[in-house]
Amino acid sequence: MDWLIFTLIARAFWAGSNIVDKLLIGRYIKNPYVLTLFAGITPLIISIFIFLSHKLEWIGLAPTIVIILAGIIQIIGVFAFYKALSKEEVSRVIPLFQLTPVLVLILSGVFLKEILTVRQYFGFVLILLGGFFIALKRIEGVFKLREAFWWMVLSSSVYAVQAIMIKSLYIKYSFLSLTFYICIGIFIPTFALLTFSNKSRDGFIKEFSKLNITGWLIVSLGVIFIAGAYLTGFWAFRTGSASLISVLRGFQSIFVFIFSLVLSIWLPKILKEELAGRILLTKIVAISLMLAGLFFIA
């Protein structure tokens, strides 16, 4: 069950990255799109490290194109997510990320011939419900067919297709070589925007030139979290089911809640988590559902 451990570690890293984003936005970096560009630079650092420390294997033209494309299309998912946020409240957008595991479950059955056991399907449903409720603050309007809903359908679809593309390759080829190529793919949109878009480049330089030492320390911590998330997440695809790996992304919300709770208690001036009775009860129920689901799939 190495895939399970590495998937949960990846979700913890991504949760750490979410906390870093919360600390950076509004306090150090005003423009959220700059953070998107920044997230695209971290994979370049990973690819450089792999290139310098490991002898790359040529996996063939077609697999190379597919894995690089899997990295490139990630920017579409990120863009669609931000468009959804611009149209609707975050409390109505984040729960819709639970569309991704459902799409992965369907696609993995069609293209990868992945069939789960009855026990795993039951665990899948429990984790899916728990992931939905822990990210939810208000139920009104979540599934109304507004413009934001369709943007989230696009974002979830992109991440689902990417998961299938990654899984189909990581079971066949060298882990480090594939990771090198996909990281290059993730970096390509950032490189294109910084090279050919004056607005993106000027905004990026403006935001990072204003960072003080504390800001740079937080950014460096973000790089570590994102790099750790990519490496552990990609490794999980070598042996794990794409659909189960995808549904476990719901645990990211648990880790965000735990990290936020710890910071609220020890460093309330930095980050404050809502601890109202109804919200806390909802999160406890959601976590219980997800832990029960984890028991069934493990």
Is the pLDDT score of 144 beyond 70?
no
Question: With pLDDT > 90 as the criterion, what percentage of the chain qualifies?
Answer: 46
Q: Pick the residue with more confidence: 285 or 270?
A: 285
Distance from C-alpha of 241 to C-alpha of 176, rounded to nearest angstrom: 20
Most confident of 38-42, 135-139, 167-171, 272-276: 167-171
Mean pLDDT, range 259-265, rounded to an integer: 79
Are 189 and 37 contacting, i.e. CB atoms less than 8 angstroms apart? no
Average of per-residue pLDDT across 72-91: 79
- Residue 152: the pLDDT is 86
Lowest-confidence range among 83-97, 220-234, 249-263? Answer: 83-97
pLDDT score, position 273: 58
Q: Average the pLDDT over 92-101 and give the result.
A: 79
| pTM to 2 decimal places | 0.87
Query: Which of the pair, 86 or 129, is modelled with greater confidence?
Result: 129
